[in-house]
Amino acid sequence: MKKARILLFLPVAGGVLITSAAFCPAATNAVASASGSQQSAQPAPTIASAIDRDISAVEKQIIDASEAMPEDKFNFTPEALDIPGANYKGVRSFAVEVKHIAASNWFIWSPLTGDKLPEGLKDGNGPTNLQTKADIIKFLKDSFALGHKAAAALTAENMLQSPANSKSTRLHLAEFGVAHAYDHYGQMVEYLRMNGIVPPASRSKSE
């Protein structure tokens, strides 16, 4: 490997010391090439990976919030607080909020995957047989697994197509699931704080 020599000007007491050192352009280029290869080895972003990242973000916040509510308060509703001047009559309980997000995920994303709806899922409040915290959270997690499957099915070629029995595009359905989940996450946050619980996403790292 051919080497070149470069002059080095080093300040010393009373003047400047001129010396030289070996320099290998080929070696330097090899290092730069290796660094560039590592960067190019990362997969290029796709419509599927972009949507999947959005789903993962809202999924974490909602699952963490669901797990933060104690079992004995899972059926909490602000109506029980009887807040003066407030009107919470008939609002969903915390448990039904979670089931509603999961049920909506199934209704929104299943057209993209072709999956059948879970047994007992007939409306936006979720299956009535799901009553325990553990069962409801499992239903929630399964619905987000469907979301990841839906995202993986998106391509640049089909994202503006409409799946069977839908007037919406695949891209709209995929992102609408995310937007809808964030809407109800905001309500879950209020329910947690009404019970003296700081949402996990709002806690400091030391908590």
Residues 78 and 147 in one domain: yes
Statement to judge: residues 141 and 185 lie in one domain: yes
Give residue 7's pLDDT: 52
Domain extent, residue 100, equals: 47-202
Q: Which tens digit of pLDDT belongs to each residue from 140-193? A: 999 999 999 999 999 999 999 999 888 999 999 999 999 999 999 999 999 999
Distance CA 109, CA 107 (A): 6
Based on the fold, state whether residues 150 and 126 are members of the same structural domain: yes
Strand partners, 12: 15
Are 30 and 86 in a shared domain?
A: no
Same domain, 95 and 185: yes
Q: Amino acid letter at 196?
A: G
Bridge partners of 22? 5
Classified as helix, coil or strand, 37 is: helix
Number of domains the chain contains: 2
Same domain, 98 and 8: no
Let me know whether 13 and 62 are in one domain: no
Q: Look up the CATH number of the domain holding residue 71.
A: 1.20.120.450
Counted residue by residue, the chain has a size of 207
pLDDT of residue 42: 77
Q: pLDDT tens across 87-141, in order?
A: 999 999 999 999 999 999 999 999 999 999 999 999 999 999 999 999 999 999 9
Query: Which pLDDT score, from 0 to 100, does residue 143 have?
Result: 98
Tell whether 71 and 113 lie within a shared domain: yes
Residue 176 maps to a domain: yes
Q: Which two tokens stand for residue 93?
A: 């309980």
Q: Quickly state the pLDDT bin for 41 (edges 50, 70, 90).
A: confident
Q: Does 13 share its domain with 55?
A: no
Q: pTM for this one? A: 0.78
